[in-house]
Amino acid sequence: MKVITVASNLNDVGFNDFLRTSCEFYNLDAIVLEYEDVFLSNRIKDALLNVYLQNTSDDDVIFFSDATDTVFVSGEEEIIEKYKAFDSPLVFSAEINCWPDKSLEADYPVPDVHFKYVNSGGFIGQAKFIKEIYNKYPIFTTADNPSYLWSNQYYWNTIFKTESELIRIDHNCEIFYNTAIYLQDFAFHKQQLNDPKAVEILVRAEKERLQKDISIMHGRVKSNITNTFPCHIHFPGTISKSLMHSGYFDDLKPPKSFSSNE
C-alpha cells in the first residue's frame, strides 16, 4: 500500500505533527507530491496523483490522504484487511454533507446512514481502477456545473453518480472518520470567525459535539455513532483545525518517546 498526499508547504505544522509523523510511526510507505504554484483548484491533487500513477503497478493499493488536517492511527495490515472486506476497487471516506453541491443529494442511494456522502480527503483503491476513472472522466472538464471546477469533491460526487455500483463509501467508518460539521452550522460559523469571543464559543460547542460523537482512547478514535475504530482521521473546516492545533487531538499523535528523526 502506498500513501499519497499533495502538499504545498512541507513546513506546515498539521502536516508534520500529524500526517507525516503518523506515517513514519506506523511504517507506512508515504509519498508526498509537492505543488509549489497557486492552488487555483483542488483538482490539482487529482491531476498530480494521476501523473504519479502512470509509473506505478496496476496492482498497487493507493491510499490518498489530504495533507494538513489528517492523521493515521493504525498500520497497513488493519487498513488492508478492512479495505478487502469492502470487495470494491475504490472506497471513499464518508461525511455528513453533500458538498459543495447539495443538489446531488438525490444521487445517493443509502437513505438511513449518518455518514452518507463522499468526502474526497481520503480514499483507498486499486491503482488500475483509479487510472481508469481519471481516463474516463477528465479531471478539469468533468463538471455538470462549471462553477465547481475549483472542487475535486464535486468531481468525485459526479463520478459516484454514474459509478456507484463499483465505488463504495465507508458509511460505517471502518477505515475513515471525518469530523465535519453540518453545512448549515458552517454557514453560521463562517460569519463569526472574525470575532475571537464568538470563535471561543464555537470551539466550546464543537468540543461538546465531539465528546458525544467520538471517544479518544489509547491513541485511537471510537466512533460512538457507528461503534467502530477507524484508521484515518480527517479534521476539515476551520473549527476542527483550530481544535487540532490547540491540542484537542494530541492523543492521536505518536507517543512523545517516538522521534521521526531516528
Q: What is the pLDDT of residues 230-246, one digit of tens each?
A: 999 999 988 899 899 99
Burial string for 147-185 (b: 16+ CB within 10 Å, else e) reads ebbebbbbbbbbbbeebeeebbbbbbbbbbbbbbbeeeb
**Alpha carbon separation from 248 to 12, 237, 253 (Å, rounded):** 18, 15, 11
Span 169-190, average pLDDT: 81
The domain locations on the chain are 2-252
Instruction: State CA 92 to chain mean position distance.
Output: 8
pLDDT digit string (tens) for 20-45? Answer: 999 999 999 999 999 998 888 999 99
Q: Give dist(CA 209, CA 52) in Å, integer.
A: 39
CA dihedral 6, 78, 60, 9 (to 10 degrees): 10
Give yes or no for residue 258 having a pLDDT over 70: yes
153 touches 99 (CB < 8 A): yes
Residue 107 DSSP one-character state:
G
Nearest Cα neighbor of 219 from 258, 246, 245, 260 is 258
Q: What is the pLDDT of residue 123?
A: 99
SS3 52: helix
| 3-state helix, strand and coil shares in percent for the chain, rounded to the nearest 5 | 40, 20, 40
pLDDT digit string (tens) for 76-126? Answer: 999 999 999 999 999 999 999 999 999 999 889 777 899 999 999 999 999
The arrangement of secondary structure in 2-252, i.e. its CATH architecture, is Alpha-Beta Complex (3.90)
144 touches 131 (CB < 8 A): no
Nearest Cα neighbor of 179 from 112, 239, 254 is 239
Give yes or no for residue 53 having a pLDDT over 90: yes
Span 8-17, average pLDDT: 96
Q: What is the pLDDT of residue 49?
A: 99
Give yes or no for residue 142 having a pLDDT over 70: no
103 touches 148 (CB < 8 A): no
Ramachandran sector of residue 235 (left: φ over 0; alpha: ψ -120 to 50; beta: rest): beta
Q: Give dist(CA 175, CA 152) in Å, integer.
A: 21
Give the pTM: 0.94
Span 165-188, average pLDDT: 86
131 touches 62 (CB < 8 A): no
Q: Give dist(CA 91, CA 204) in Å, integer.
A: 33
Span 56-66, average pLDDT: 98
Beta-carbon neighbour count of residue 23 at 10 Å?
23
Q: Give dist(CA 153, CA 131) in Å, integer.
A: 17
